[in-house]
Amino acid sequence: MTKYKQSILVRKDLKLPKGKLAAQCSHASLEAALKTSKSKLKEWKQDGSKKVILSVNSKEDLINYKLKASKLNLKTALIKDAGKTVLKKPTLTCLAIGPDKEETINKITKKLKLLN
Amino acid sequence: MTKYKQSILVRKDLKLPKGKLAAQCSHASLEAALKTSKSKLKEWKQDGSKKVILSVNSKEDLINYKLKASKLNLKTALIKDAGKTVLKKPTLTCLAIGPDKEETINKITKKLKLLN
């Protein structure tokens, strides 16, 4: 059976505090989900709306993974924080990919580690 | 002008690791947003899709805030983790309220502190 998931890549180098991190991931998750077709959202929900939070090391990583995802026609949401609170200037913080077929997303993100 | 936001209340007592925390908040944010009318989602987006991550101390807090929100006709999403990874049994982790008018949500959540 085809499985669906959403991967959210977060910059570890920013060392975001927990609340900021959770808000940024929520922005990314929602924005990418709203770009996704209703049929895919339904499949994803049936798989428990699986979300995986992964760690990357830099702004460049986020941009590169966005390009790779777009080449596979995956929906993405790249989030830029306005830089008015914890961060002092506008900053790319995270990237959501999907929800889409797990095997397609894994082609891009399989080497990334879970954020811990 | 009426401002819109979404508040996400997280149990601090669980001491969730960052990745787990971010995934749970993303679940809550998305599920509550999908219950919200398109017109409210649009207003919220115009306000930058503001999300605030707040801290509560217990499962009972989550349930009480859900009841308070429902009495004001606010949409909510109470998230139960399946307990197959970090948590060892099914566990209520967080609650999203809204998006809705900031002044209405504040009636319930104004005493809560930001998660840090």
Residue range B22-38: mean pLDDT, rounded: 97
Can you give the pLDDT at residue B69?
98
- Of A67, A68, A75, give the one whose Cα is nearest residue A44: A75
Looking at residue B106, the DSSP 8-state letter turns out to be H
Query: Chain A residue with minimal CA distance to B45?
Result: A31
| pLDDT, mean over chain A | 95
Interface residue of B10, B13, B18 to substitute, partner A, most A CBs within 10 Å: B18
Residue B82, classified by CB atoms within 10 Å of its CB into exposed (0-12), middle (13-18) or buried (19+), is exposed
Give B84's pLDDT tier (boundaries 50, 70, 90): confident
Per the structure block, which two tokens stand in for A22?
């959770």
Answer whether B30 touches A (CB < 8 Å). Answer: yes
What backbone torsions phi and psi does residue B114 show, to the nearest 5 degrees?
-60, 140
Can you give the pLDDT at residue B35?
96
Pick from A30, A51, A116: CB nearest B18: A116
What backbone torsions phi and psi does residue B76 show, to the nearest 5 degrees?
-140, 160
Count of CB atoms situated within 10 Å of the CB of A60? 10
Can you give the pLDDT at residue B85?
86
Which residues is A79 bridged to in the sheet? A94
pLDDT in tens, A20-69: 999 999 999 999 999 999 999 999 999 899 999 999 999 999 999 999 99
First-to-last CA distance in chain B?
A: 29
Give B56's pLDDT tier (boundaries 50, 70, 90): very high
Structural domains present in chain A: 4-109 (3.40.1490.10)
Can you give the pLDDT at residue B21?
96
Residues 70-109 of B with CB under 8 A from A: 82
Tell me if A21 and B23 make a contact (CB, 8 A cut-off).
no
Does residue A1 surpass a pLDDT of 80?
A: no
Average the pLDDT over each of A9-13, A73-77, B45-49, B72-76 and give the range with the smallest value: B45-49
Answer whether A14 touches B (CB < 8 Å). Answer: no
The reported pTM is 0.95
Integer-rounded Cα Rg, in Å, for chain A is: 14
Does residue B60 surpass a pLDDT of 80?
A: yes
